[in-house]
């Protein structure tokens, strides 16, 4: 797997169709996430103001009435076509200004160019001037498109040219703006119409399927560039006219909510995302038009390199890097999410370490993440799969490393109960820094999140943790949308601390009943409450709950089981002693 550069505040995109509609929604969401720069290219004139008759009026019908009155007053003929053109110009001006304002309010940078997207030389000159202000262009987002819907026997050559040129000639013109070697992001807004086909959109389907194929070819030729073609289903806004909306409703075709679509767009551009073609939303076919799809078994291959996963250097036992169980959980949940854009992992059940991955020279060249679909309910937004990570031994036989049952849903529901409020000033009974120094814990700086233990007794413990500030790409191939692997690891460290204090033996997590996500990791100090639920000579089991100062739960690990091993005591401090 190639880990791509993240979108940062230094990234500058040239964006076609980016000042209006769904592309604008996505661009604003990306600005909110990364504070990057955008050169927005569109057909509409930005203008320096709007006519007096439009001032303070937002209702479309009233705008048309005011426009008609103004045209008549100045002696022009107020035809419906002229009124429509004048009102559209006002609405376009407002939407462009709103988009630029939203980008800047988010901390991003933006300029707007009115340009003919199919005029490569003119576009290149205009973008060069904007780039001098915003910075060198390293990304392209091609969101422009034109519809000319009618049944294929009624289509004209002009229809085809209009639709085709906006998508294909427009892409070629954008590529002419940026040196291919400097390009780090190529993002194409394709359509589910290109993948499934759609009545009345033969030309649009052809143009978008060309974008899909071009994305794969460009990715192959430019491995350092993050390339993705979004095969969007119909959105609630954008190019879905009232007539189209009625047609979709009659055919039972769902539309993509604006906020959800923008979120998927941003998440898919994360460095850890691998997909080159992403199908989002409903097929362009209603119930009964699409044959039911059987549950599948899918295989995702990955090479793990330490140089692109810097966090692993802080997870050394003895002399060797060991893949954290929490990172394996993130790997499995991330694979399921990658295959299901728009869904988020809410649970990883029955997590088992079968044969951990140790980077001691015996690790495999390549690993396979096998995803066996168990439940898929698109209407309810539910997906469940059995996920296993495996490699091959010297004889070619499968060697299994980790497994889990992963559950995805459309939204992550909050925890139904509050924990007792956390007290960040509670006195320490154990100092966190000391636990990392004395060999109770072996973790390097990135994993050293325990600040202090405020309670430890036969029932469990309470501790205060603080997640470190991560640099872009630090989690490498293990960054995910829903499961925070560092948070899970730090929380389970509390089980290791309790086991060492109560038994004298070091331990490692090898079985987890269920990892449950209830929301994003909040900023500031977090509180971990551990309730020990089982104990014998070999293992200790407990429930680990992570919450903020108000008691709001963000993550919970039920049936967290650590296996005791006095042999590990010396190994936990060995790497640090040698350093």
Residue 402 φ/ψ, nearest 5 degrees: -145, 155
Q: What is the spatial distance between Cα 434 and Cα 109, in angstroms, rounded to a whole number?
A: 45
CATH code for the structural domain at 430-578: 3.10.129.120
Strands 344-353 and 506-517 come out as antiparallel
Question: Is the four-CA dihedral 260, 262, 265, 268 of positive or negative sign?
Answer: negative
CA torsion through residues 531, 387, 479, 191, sign: negative
The 3-class SS string of 50-115 reads: CCHHHCCCCCHHHHHHHHHHHHHHCCCCCCHHHHHHHHHHHHHHHHHHHHHHHHHHCCCEEEEEEC
Start-to-end CA distance of the chain, whole Å, equals 31
* Separation of alpha carbons 207 and 164, rounded Å: 5
Which DSSP helix (H) or strand (E) runs through 494? helix 485-503
pLDDT at res. 54 = 87
Reduce the secondary structure of 300-332 to three states and give it as a string: EEECCCHHHCHHHHHCEECCEEECCHHHHHHHH
How does DSSP classify residue 469? P
- Measured at the CA of 547, the angle between CA 542 and CA 550, to 5 degrees, comes to 140
Residues composing the chain: 579
> Could you give the CA distance from residue 447 to residue 323 in angstroms, rounded to a whole number?
13
- Angle between the 80-105 and 60-73 helix axes, to the nearest 10 degrees? 120
Angstrom distance (rounded) from CA 487 to CA 324 = 12
Strand partners, 279: 231
Q: In what order do the strands lie in the sheet with 320-322?
A: 316-317, 320-322, 358-359
pLDDT tens over the chain, length 579 residues: 456 788 999 999 999 988 888 999 999 999 999 999 999 998 887 766 788 888 888 888 898 999 999 989 988 888 988 988 888 888 888 889 999 999 999 999 999 999 888 888 888 888 998 999 999 999 999 999 888 889 998 999 999 999 999 999 999 999 998 888 889 999 999 998 888 888 888 999 999 999 999 999 999 888 889 999 999 988 886 566 677 777 777 777 778 889 989 999 998 998 777 789 998 876 666 555 555 668 899 999 999 989 889 999 999 999 999 999 999 999 999 999 988 888 999 999 999 999 999 999 989 999 999 999 999 988 788 999 999 999 999 888 999 999 999 999 988 999 988 999 998 889 999 999 999 999 999 999 999 999 999 999 999 999 999 987 777 678 888 988 789 999 999 999 999 999 999 999 999 999 999 999 998 888 889 999 999 999 999 999 999 999 999 999 999 999 999 999 988 988 887 655 554
Report residue 532 as tokens.
């020990």
Instruction: Provide the CATH number for the domain formed by 12-46+95-280 in this structure.
Output: 3.40.50.720
Distance set, CA 59 to CA 83, 87, 90, 95, 237 (Å) = 14, 11, 12, 14, 17
In SS3 terms, 501-568 reads as: HHHCCEEEEEEEEEEEECCCCCCCCEEEEEEEEEECCCEEEEEEEEECCCCCEEEEEEEEEEEEECCH
Fold of 297-409: Thiol Ester Dehydrase; Chain A (3.10.129)
CA angle 255, 256, 260 (to 5 degrees): 160
Q: Which long-range contacts (CB under 8 A, 24 or more apart) does 267-271 make?
A: 267/481, 268/228, 268/230, 268/341, 269/7, 269/30, 269/185, 269/187, 269/226, 269/228, 270/6, 270/479, 270/481, 271/3, 271/4, 271/5, 271/6, 271/226, 271/472, 271/473, 271/476, 271/479
297-409 and 430-578, same CATH topology: yes
Residue boundaries of the structural domains of the chain: 12-46+95-280, 297-409, 430-578
Contact 321, 359 (CB under 8 A): yes
pLDDT value of position 198: 80
Positive or negative, the CA dihedral 457, 461, 463, 469 is: positive
């Amino acid at each position: 797997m190639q880990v791509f550069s993240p979108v940062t505040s230094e990234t500058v995109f040239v964006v076609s169709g980016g000042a209006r509609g769904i592309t604008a929604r996505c661009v604003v969401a990306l600005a909110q996430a990364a504070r990057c720069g955008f050169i927005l290219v569109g057909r509409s004139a930005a203008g320096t103001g709007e006519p007096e008759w439009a001032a303070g009026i937002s209702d479309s019908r009233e705008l048309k009435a005011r426009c008609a009155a103004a045209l008549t007053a100045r002696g022009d003929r107020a035809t419906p076509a002229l009124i429509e053109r004048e009102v559209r110009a006002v609405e376009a001006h407002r939407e462009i200004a709103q988009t630029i304002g939203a980008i800047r309010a988010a901390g991003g940078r933006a300029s707007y160019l009115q340009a003919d997207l199919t005029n490569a030389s003119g576009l290149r000159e205009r973008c060069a001037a904007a780039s001098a202000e915003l910075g060198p262009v390293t990304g392209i987002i091609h969101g422009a498109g034109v519809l000319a819907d009618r049944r294929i026997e009624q289509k004209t050559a002009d229809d085809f040219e209009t639709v085709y040129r906006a998508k294909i000639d427009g892409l070629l013109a954008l590529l002419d703006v940026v040196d291919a070697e400097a390009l780090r992001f190529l993002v194409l807004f394709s359509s589910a119409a290109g993948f499934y086909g759609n009545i009345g959109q033969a030309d649009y389907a052809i143009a978008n399927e060309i974008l899909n194929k071009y994305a794969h070819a460009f990715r192959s030729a430019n491995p350092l560039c993050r390339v993705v073609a979004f095969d969007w289903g119909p959105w609630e806004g954008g190019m879905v006219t009232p007539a189209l909306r009625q047609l979709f409703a009659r055919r039972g075709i769902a539309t993509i909510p604006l906020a959800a679509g923008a979120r998927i767009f941003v998440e898919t551009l994360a460095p850890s995302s691998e997909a080159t073609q992403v199908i989002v939303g409903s097929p362009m076919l209603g119930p009964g038009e699409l044959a039911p799809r059987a549950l599948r078994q899918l295989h995702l291959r990955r090479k793990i390199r330490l140089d692109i996963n810097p966090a692993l250097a802080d997870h050394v036992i003895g002399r060797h890097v060991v893949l954290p169980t929490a990172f394996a959980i993130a790997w499995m949940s991330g694979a399921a999410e990658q295959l299901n854009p728009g869904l988020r992992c809410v649970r990883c059940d029955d997590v088992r370490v079968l044969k951990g991955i140790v980077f001691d020279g015996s690790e495999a060249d390549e690993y396979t993440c096998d995803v066996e679909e168990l439940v898929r309910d698109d209407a309810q937004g539910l997906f469940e799969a059995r996920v296993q990570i495996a490699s091959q031994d010297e004889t070619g036989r499968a060697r299994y490393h980790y497994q889990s049952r992963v559950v995805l849903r459309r939204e992550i529901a909050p925890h139904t109960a509050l924990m007792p409020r956390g007290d960040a000033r509670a006195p320490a009974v154990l100092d966190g820094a000391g636990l990392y120094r004395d060999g109770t814990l072996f973790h390097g700086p990135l994993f050293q999140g325990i600040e202090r233990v405020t309670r430890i007794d036969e029932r469990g413990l309470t501790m205060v943790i603080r997640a470190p500030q991560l640099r872009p790409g630090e989690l490498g191939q293990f960054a995910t949308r829903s499961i925070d692997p560092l948070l899970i690891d730090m929380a389970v460290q509390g089980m290791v601390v309790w086991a060492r204090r109560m038994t004298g033996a070091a331990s490692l997590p090898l079985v987890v009943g269920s990892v449950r996500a209830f929301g994003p990791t909040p900023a500031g100090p977090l509180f971990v409450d551990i309730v020990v639920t089982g104990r014998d000579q070999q293992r200790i089991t407990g429930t680990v709950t992570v919450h903020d100062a108000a008691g709001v739960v963000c993550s919970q690990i039920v049936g967290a089981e650590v296996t005791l091993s006095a042999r590990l005591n010396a190994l936990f401090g060995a790497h640090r002693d040698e350093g």
